[in-house]
Amino acid sequence: MFADLAGLLRRFSELGAVRAFCKPLAENDNSKQQIYLGGNFDVVQMFPFENVEATSNGKDSTYKAKLNFAWIDADKTEQAAGAQLILYPQYPEVRLSGFLRGCKRAPNELLRPIPASQRRFNNGPDGRILFFGITRNGETLAYLAPAESSIAQEFRQRQAESAFSQESVFFNLPLQGRDSRIMLLERLSEIRKRGWQPSISLKKDGIIVPYKASNGGGYTLEALLGIIRNSISEPDFMGWEIKAYSKDRITLITPEPDGGMYGEDGVKAFVRKYGKPSGEDTLYFTGTHRADCRNEKTGLTLVVRGFNPSQKIIEDVGGAVELLTDKGRCEAAWSFAHLLIKWNKKHAHAAYIRYKGEKVAAPTYRYLSPALLGEGTDFNRYLAALCAGLVILDPGSKVMNASTEKSTVKARSQFRMSVRHLAELYQKFGPVEF
């Protein structure tokens, strides 16, 4: 038991949490009816997971995402091996399930179902508060405060004073006593005031090294923020994904297809079939592919199968983004389950920072205010933007030394978007000076 909220947040920090939030529970949040986490898929962005399983069962079709979930107290933690998110696309809504299985130290009594005859709050908030801490290595930490506990009472009092920002059904809690948004803007302001910076990257051992290639704008900004290059696929800075840009079009995600001929035979076979010669013995697969528009260069059409763009809901959990031939044969496919993982990891909170670059003896960069901050997204927004042609597939895969036995391949499946359309992806989006 923790004496106050500060003590709980310190414990989260000790265990490696980089973000914390909580949900006031209602009477129907229990081990039988599961814990309701929101009426759309935006809450999925708040929990890290590695795999998504699609279960097709007519109207009861779902996605299930396993969590690395642990209950904590003041001195110990215990894993809940069965914890998972269940996404119901037909509503849509998300629930937390399996969070007590095999746990002796879990708050089992506090999460038992309450008989209808004994309910006092008409299924509304009953005073219990479920706290979450998210670690950089993808673990979800949890602590449940009883309704009468000092920590629950403190939260309710501070909530009434509007001390915490709300995101969907959750309230954000500042782990270091300060809001991560403010801390990010302060760091960006420091970087902006430094002016031109040499192109660098931060290695895994924490050593800063020069970066000579022409695409160093993003790596340099990350290094200045203390972000290790290619470290993990989670958000970069205290829960914020950092994206530096110098041109109108921004790369959102770069997932490789998991279906179609590409998924079965690999990128090299696909590029040999659909790529075009460019340069010395090199085949490139390039070209802008928009939904329902045939690309004359590749002869392929991008389609979004299983999503209803007018209602903005997934109608088929087995759906996918596909590249089809004129005869309707699928040559590359990105399943919704596969894309959901990629989108979840990066876009709950995103900061887009414009930069300018110069090259005299070596590349240098400077970073400009304002930042474009996006908060609150969900996968359905991404699919809707794809259907509207705002998000495009803009690949850059190639096979080098294509005519030789020692040919090599570089896979680059990019989904990109114009900066001016980014607001379509977020509940809250706009410029913020730093």
pLDDT the model gives residue 144: 97
Helix axes 150-160, 5-14, angle to 10 degrees: 100
Q: Is 197 in the same domain as 327? A: yes
Q: Is 297 in the same domain as 253? A: yes
Q: What are phi and psi of 349, to 5 degrees?
A: -135, 120
Q: What is the pTM of this model?
A: 0.85
**Cα–Cα distance measured from residue 409 to residue 264, given in angstroms and rounded to the nearest whole number:** 16
Q: Following CA atoms 133, 135, 138, 139 in sequence, which dihedral angle do they give, to the nearest 10 degrees?
A: -50
Query: HSE of 380 in the Cβ direction (CA atoms, 13 Å)?
Result: 25
Q: Is 185 in the same domain as 163? A: no
**Mean residue pLDDT across the chain:** 91
pLDDT the model gives residue 104: 83
Q: Is 44 left (phi over 0), alpha (psi -120 to 50) or beta?
A: alpha
Domain residues for the domain of 77 are 5-173
**Cα–Cα distance measured from residue 30 to residue 45, given in angstroms and rounded to the nearest whole number:** 22
CATH number for the domain harbouring residue 43 = 2.40.330
Q: Is 274 in the same domain as 421? A: yes
**Cα–Cα distance measured from residue 165 to residue 203, given in angstroms and rounded to the nearest whole number:** 35
Per-residue pLDDT of 83-112, as tens digits, reads: 999 999 888 899 999 999 888 888 999 999
pLDDT at 420 over 60: yes
**Cα–Cα distance measured from residue 237 to residue 251, given in angstroms and rounded to the nearest whole number:** 18
- The domain tally of the chain equals 2
Q: Is 21 in the same domain as 114? A: yes
Q: Is 60 in the same domain as 104? A: yes
On whether the CB atoms of residues 234 and 16 are closer than 8 A, the answer is no
pLDDT the model gives residue 235: 56
Question: Per mean pLDDT, which range of 205-209, 273-277, 421-425 is the poorest?
Answer: 205-209
